[in-house]
């Protein structure tokens, strides 16, 4: 690959990404929608609110260009954004109970 071709390809990639993200930084995340693997590092809640699935920005092999891919939690678990992972509701409740200060029940 020539240097000119390499530069043109990278400039085009940067232009496309900056155009897409500058239009609306708070645009809704959607399955198969475009993402930037260098910036979209957090897993996202699926737009319909289904707690058993989440979205993950996956590289398409061209610069930092990626697409949002739908991922499923294992059976019996749901996605917690604050944890950035799937866990059972029972496990989450146990974690919250463990994190409460001792005098919170008084």
pLDDT at residue number 11: 41
Q: What is the pLDDT along the chain (106 residues), one digit of tens a residue?
A: 554 444 335 444 443 444 444 333 335 678 888 999 999 999 999 888 899 999 999 999 999 999 999 999 999 999 999 899 999 988 888 877 777 665 555 5
pTM: 0.62
pLDDT at residue number 14: 43
pLDDT at residue number 105: 55
Q: Where are the domains of the chain?
A: 26-105
Helix (H), strand (E), coil (C) string for the chain:
CCHHHHHHHHHHHHHHHHHHHHHCCCCCCCCCCEEECCCCCCCEECCCCCCCEEEEEEEEEECCEEEEEEEECCCCCEEECCCCEEECHHHHHHHHHHHCCHHHHC
């Amino acid at each position: 690959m020539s240097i000119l071709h390499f530069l043109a390809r990278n400039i085009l990639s940067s232009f496309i990404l900056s155009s897409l993200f500058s239009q609306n930084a708070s645009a809704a995340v959607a399955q198969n929608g475009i993402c930037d693997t260098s910036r979209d590092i957090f897993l996202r809640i699926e737009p319909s609110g289904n707690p058993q699935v989440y979205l993950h920005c996956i590289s398409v092999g061209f610069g930092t260009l990626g697409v949002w891919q739908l991922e499923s939690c294992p059976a019996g678990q749901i996605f917690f954004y604050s944890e950035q992972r799937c866990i059972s509701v029972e496990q989450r409740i146990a974690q919250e109970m463990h994190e409460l200060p001792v005098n919170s029940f008084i």
